């Protein structure tokens, strides 16, 4: 039996105290873990990602539990657990990254399926290090995140994919990319570990269907363990206006949903993260969109286990 604590005390049917989706929890071994990493040290534009995980969990209590793929309400017989967030310990960036790695290792040690909520995208490299085995990354993002450094910092959130490759990822599949440097484009074109689908191609009125079908065909043929990382700015800014670095011209919500469903139902996805969530003061659309994506990951993973 798992010894992981719940994020908040267990709820009754009339109270929502902090579990993802507002679902009651029990002491059984969890099938899926929701683990918050409220980390923000290298953001370069919008601030507030450290508050994103809590906002996402709060928004999730308003998400409908019925899933079209499952054909039933969540949790659909599975045991979900929202665990204590990462404690933020560490007096330097390197110490905090090491602390995140240790936190992620705890989640993997349960043999449950962990979904990490961020926080800035800098959480990705320590998560990959925690896996300790060859893994492929599938990345939804507006940014390539392949810089060697940004403002002198090699562990900036703008370098997350590059550092994840350094940390042991063997392949990187990216979609939604539309903001990148010359250096990053050169790396995309020269590094055979990286396969990138640009947003301008996917969203093209004429050729978009061709590129989209190519993406789905490629990712569903990936063998071996996969970590799915979703920077919510990969979606169009109209859907996530409060993310750390919003960029116009992004993917639709349904692009993200089909990617999640096709990938998890056809491949060995062992974990996921949804990051760069910034609480939105007015409509709360940003955190609600993030909560919907997390919910789809949960539902699809449960469906794949049936």
The pLDDT of residue 47: 54
- pLDDT by residue (tens digit) across 188-240? 999 999 999 999 999 999 999 999 999 999 999 999 999 999 999 999 999 99
- Element at 67 (helix H, strand E): strand 66-67
Domain spans of the chain, in order of start: 20-305
Which residues are CB-neighbours of 91 under 8 A, at least 6 positions away? none
Which residues are CB-neighbours of 64 under 8 A, at least 6 positions away? none
Q: Please give the C-alpha separations between residue 272 and each of 68, 113, 115, 190, in angstroms, as whole numbers.
A: 21, 8, 5, 27
Full-model pTM:
0.91
- DSSP secondary structure string, 103-122? HHHHHHHTTSEEEEEESSGG
The band of 42, judged by pLDDT with boundaries at 50, 70 and 90, is low
CATH topology of domain 20-305: 3.40.800
The pLDDT of residue 218: 98
The pLDDT of residue 46: 43
**Strand pairing class (72-73; 66-67):** antiparallel
d(CA 71, CA 19): 23
Contact 271, 113 (CB under 8 A): yes
Residue 60 is encoded by which pair of tokens?
């999730």
The pLDDT of residue 5: 34
d(CA 64, CA 299): 12
Report the range of poorest mean pLDDT among 10-19, 92-101, 126-135, 163-172.
10-19
């Amino acid at each position: 039996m798992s010894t992981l604590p719940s994020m908040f005390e267990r709820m009754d049917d009339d109270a929502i105290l902090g579990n993802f989706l507002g679902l009651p929890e029990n002491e059984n071994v969890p099938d899926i873990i929701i683990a918050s990493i409220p980390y923000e040290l290298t953001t370069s534009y919008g601030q507030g990602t450290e508050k994103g995980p809590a906002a996402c969990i709060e928004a999730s209590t308003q998400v409908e539990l019925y899933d079209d793929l499952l054909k039933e309400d969540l949790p659909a017989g599975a045991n979900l657990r929202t665990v204590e967030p990462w404690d933020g310990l560490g007096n330097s960036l390197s110490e905090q990254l090491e602390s995140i790695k240790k936190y992620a290792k705890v989640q993997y040690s349960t043999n449950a399926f962990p979904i990490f909520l961020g926080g800035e995208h800098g959480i990705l490299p320590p998560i990959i290090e925690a896996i300790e085995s060859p893994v492929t990354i599938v990345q939804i993002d507006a940014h390539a995140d392949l810089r060697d450094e940004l403002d002198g910092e090699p562990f900036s959130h703008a370098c997350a994919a590059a550092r994840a490759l350094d940390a042991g990822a063997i392949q990187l599949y990216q979609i939604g990319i539309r903001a990148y440097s010359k250096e990053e484009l050169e790396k995309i074109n020269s590094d055979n570990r990286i396969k990138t689908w640009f947003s301008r191609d996917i969203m093209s009125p004429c050729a978009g269907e061709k590129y989209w079908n190519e993406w789905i065909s490629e990712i569903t043929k990936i063998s071996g363990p996969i970590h799915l990382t979703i920077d919510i700015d990969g979606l169009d800014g109209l859907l996530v206006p409060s993310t750390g670095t919003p960029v116009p011209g992004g993917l639709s919500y349904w692009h993200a949903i089909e990617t999640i469903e096709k990938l998890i139902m056809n491949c060995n996805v062992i974990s996921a993260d949804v990051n760069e969530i910034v609480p939105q003061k007015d409509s709360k659309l940003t955190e609600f969109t993030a909560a919907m994506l997390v919910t789809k990951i949960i539902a699809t993973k449960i469906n794949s286990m049936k």
